[in-house]
Structure 1
Amino acid sequence: MYQNRDIIARLREDIPSFECVEGCHDCCGPVTTSSEEMSRLPRKTNAEYEAALSEFNCVHLGPKGCTVYGERPLICRLFGTTPRMPCPNGRRPETMVDEQTERQVHHYIASTRQVLV
């Protein structure tokens, strides 16, 4: 698990960030994430999960956007930083994520146990 923590930290550093449109949550549907990333997020009740899923939202989406933005999973960080996962509002970082980092994120996701957020 410590190795995964190091991988996550490195990948987070390599994914550029950008300003989202205030109030937008177009890419905040239910996602899967690694158990390691999930362990960093607040626990939610079954009722909270069911309510979010019924709206096809992430359980951590609040009235003003992501309530766990600083700890959001790698897949959430990747949205809008690559042409393969564009921001629906045309936002993007000054420099897009490099292809190697994107491949490493997808490899990490594919090689770890994933749970629904």
Structure 2
Amino acid sequence: MSCTDRKIDHLRRQIPGFACVPGCHDCCGPVTASSEEMARLPVKSAAEHEAALAEWNCVHLGPQGCQVYDQRPLICRLFGTTPRLPCPRGQGPKTPIEAHVEEQVHRLIATTRQVLV
């Protein structure tokens, strides 16, 4: 396991979870992820990527929501946990993410090569 993989796992454990509005996928647009995060996701075809982008969706968004929820990238996990990335439906954890954890996530994103999911 790489140093970046360990950082990703460490940060994932620190991002608070919360219940989304059933059926909502308002925050599931195209996002970027590190190669380490991409390695955890199923490979999608170029046609699947193009179709998702045409709808301004994530390629891993299915009829029942996120198909890779347990392995979703850090940026997806931040949605709704911080005022910088609010849930469009007003959902969120009882206690928002700690500022230093959010900063660590943004720093990791900024220092890793990101590719479109």
Q: What TM-score results when the alignment is normalised by the length of structure 2?
A: 0.98
How many residue pairs are counted as aligned between the two chains?
117
Instruction: Name 2:115's counterpart in structure 1.
Output: 115
Question: How far is the alpha carbon of 1:94 from its aligned partner?
Answer: 1.1
Q: Which runs of 4+ in 1 moved over 6 A?
A: none
Taking the TM superposition and a 5 Å limit, the aligned residue runs for 1:61-100 are 61-100=61-100
Any idea what the Cα deviations from partners look like across 1:21-47, whole Å, max 9, x if unmatched? 111111000000100000000000111
Q: Distance in 2 between matches of 1:68 and 1:101?
A: 23
What stretches of structure 2 of length at least 5 have no aligned partner? none
Percent of residue pairs bearing the same amino acid type = 66
What stretches of structure 1 of length at least 5 have no aligned partner? none
- SS of 2:115's equivalent in the other structure is strand
Q: Distance in 1 between matches of 2:62 and 2:25?
A: 10
Instruction: Name 1:54's counterpart in structure 2.
Output: 54
Residue 102 (str. 1) matches residue 85 (str. 2): no
- SS of 1:33's equivalent in the other structure is strand
CA RMSD, Structure 1 to Structure 2 (Å): 0.7
